[in-house]
Amino acid sequence: MNARTEFVAPPYVANMQRVDSYADIDEILRSEDFMQGSHRESGVFFNGSLLLIEGHEHMQRRQLFSSLVSRTAMHYYETGALVPVIDKVMQELRDEGRGKDGLVHVDLIPLIRSMLYRITALVTGVDNVDTPQKTERFRDLVDKLGVAVTVEWSTGDHEQVIRDGLEIRRQLIEEFLLPSLERRRGLVSQFKEGKMAKDALPTDLLTMLTLHGDDKRPGDEDYVWRECALFLVASTQTTTHTLPHVIVHLTDWCKSHPEDAPKRTDATFLRIAAMESLRLHQPAPTLLRIALKDVTLASGRKIAKDERVALFFVPANRETAVFGPDAAEFNPYRVAPPRLSPWGLTFGGGVHTCIGRPLVTGMFNRPDDKSGTEGTMIRILRTLYEAGAVMDPTKPPKRVAASYHDAYESFPLVLRSL
Amino acid sequence: MSSSPSTPRKAFRVVIDENMCQGIGYCERTCPSVFTVDKERLMAVVKIPIVDDPTLLEQVELAEQTCPTRAIALIPVDES
């Protein structure tokens, strides 16, 4: 299997200036002369959310959401929400997931989503995801919403994808989001009346928005659902996208470096493998930015005022001048150049750097920091490798066909030690 | 978490990860008494490296959580 499929530019960006140099993209992402240009079609799901606002409003919103991404919160998402669910899911596979050969066979893509749903619900503030039926229903709706909010990269009829997405969102609101919001309105009222301490309020998106009066913006009452859509999708997207790539790369790597196979349960080794995979495979095909004035980049590239440019991270993250002569290759011993992230540009840059990055990669002050977090990807990878995960030799993975994402829709594994 | 900066009178060393910092300046705007941005290097600079005042720590913690690249670390002085 080829882990390094060639990058195909989606038709959506065919008429835009293509920027694929690392330095140019880095400069654009950091520059105040550019604004968000992504999610025009999918704006109906995201307009006014943290992803698409700029300037002082953006900083204030980041401050409002700060408690959702604090170290304490990250620690709880990982140890209080992810680890117990991983344990439960693995126990269910141990008890009920064996095939005729006595081994556990499982598809990684739904498995990852089943492990991450509780984090999604916690961050957003969704209650009552507490029975197998409701859990499955919530996961299914969020999964389908994720297709709609990236409609720009869909290979299907975009108008239909949006219509379907709006219906999915309606169902999510009716069944999960509105009842959760109503409960928080009640709690916030109690707090404002002095009947409840602030510390007793939940720490989640819906509570923060209600406290701030953004649960019912005059003239834009749907804003709250658009912010929810961002957090519902963003909290799982990168891990679901990248984790299969890590397994493909490690499978190939360990064939040529069998001495490293035992390291696949070592968190430090897995961390670098995950970061390399993030560098080589981006969750979104491109990011788009709009110039606020005529700009000449340090390289001499000119971008006209109001021009929307497509930032192609795949070639940039594989630039040999930046990451060395083997930049296009996976190397779990790579040391990132000074002042560069080991994942390159994958989480974006500047003010719109992905807010969920620490959830995925972990947060630690030093490599030996015991109070830090491992990150969702390392936690799940380590669990899978401890269970003896290998790619199923009888069922090759299938790549996503409904969009231009560099992703898998099915990724069969065998857990040989479970 | 044991390293929570909200612990009263505990001292924290404020550190900038130079590989992550892009000089965006949200830290300076959130807590100007502790952070400034070196415009030449596009890098945040810590003016008060060790903070133990609870009110100031709250602002530093907000800056740490608001930083888009999460380039700020608060390390308990007894661990640093």
Q: Which of A66, A340, A353 sits opposite B65 (nearest CB)?
A: A66
- For residue A378, give the 3-state DSSP assignment: helix
End-to-end CA, chain B: 17
End-to-end CA, chain A: 25
> Which H or E run includes A317?
helix A313-317
Burial class (CB in 10 A: 0-12, 13-18, 19+), A309: buried
pLDDT, residue A9, reads 79
Domain residue limits at A380: 11-399+407-415
Q: What is the CATH number of the domain that holds A21?
A: 1.10.630.10
Burial class (CB in 10 A: 0-12, 13-18, 19+), A70: buried
Alpha carbon distance A277, A270 (integer Å):
10
- pLDDT: is B6 or B50 the higher one? B50
Burial class (CB in 10 A: 0-12, 13-18, 19+), A274: buried
Domains of chain B (ranges; CATH) run 12-79 (3.30.70.20)
Q: pLDDT-derived band of residue A7, with 50, 70 and 90 as boundaries?
A: low
A5 in a domain, yes or no?
no
Query: How much is the average pLDDT of B3-26?
Result: 81
CB–CB of A313/A285 below 8 Å? no
The count of domains in chain A is 1
Which chain A residues are closer than 8 Å to B24 by Cβ?
30, 350-351
Q: Do B65 and A59 touch (CB under 8 A)?
A: no
Q: Is pLDDT above 50 for A4?
A: no
A180 in a domain, yes or no?
yes
A337 in a domain, yes or no?
yes
Tokens of A244: 């299969």
Q: pLDDT-derived band of residue A365, with 50, 70 and 90 as boundaries?
A: low
Pairing between β-strand B12-16 and β-strand B50-51 as defined by DSSP bridges = antiparallel
A6 in a domain, yes or no?
no
Which chain A residues are closer than 8 Å to B18 by Cβ?
338-339
Q: pLDDT-derived band of residue A303, with 50, 70 and 90 as boundaries?
A: very high
B73 touches chain A (CB under 8 A): yes
pLDDT, residue A1, reads 39
Q: Which of B22, B65, B70 sits opposite A350 (nearest CB)?
A: B22
B47 touches chain A (CB under 8 A): no
Average pLDDT over chain A reads 93
Q: Do B4 and A71 touch (CB under 8 A)?
A: yes
Which chain B residues are closer than 8 Å to A349 by Cβ?
22, 69
Q: pLDDT-derived band of residue A368, with 50, 70 and 90 as boundaries?
A: low
Tokens of A227: 């912010």
pLDDT, residue B79, reads 62
Name the H helices within chain B. 26-30, 54-66
* DSSP secondary structure string for all residues of A164-215: HHHHHHHHHIIIIIHHHHHHHHHHHHHHHTTSS-GGGS--SHHHHHHHTTGG
What ipTM describes this predicted complex? 0.86
B41 touches chain A (CB under 8 A): no
Average pLDDT over chain B reads 88
A392 in a domain, yes or no?
yes
Q: Do A70 and B75 touch (CB under 8 A)?
A: no
A4 in a domain, yes or no?
no
Q: pLDDT-derived band of residue A338, with 50, 70 and 90 as boundaries?
A: confident
CB–CB of B42/B23 below 8 Å? yes
Query: How much is the average pLDDT of A298-327?
Result: 96
Which chain A residues are closer than 8 Å to B72 by Cβ?
none
A35 in a domain, yes or no?
yes
Share of chain A above pLDDT 70, in %: 96
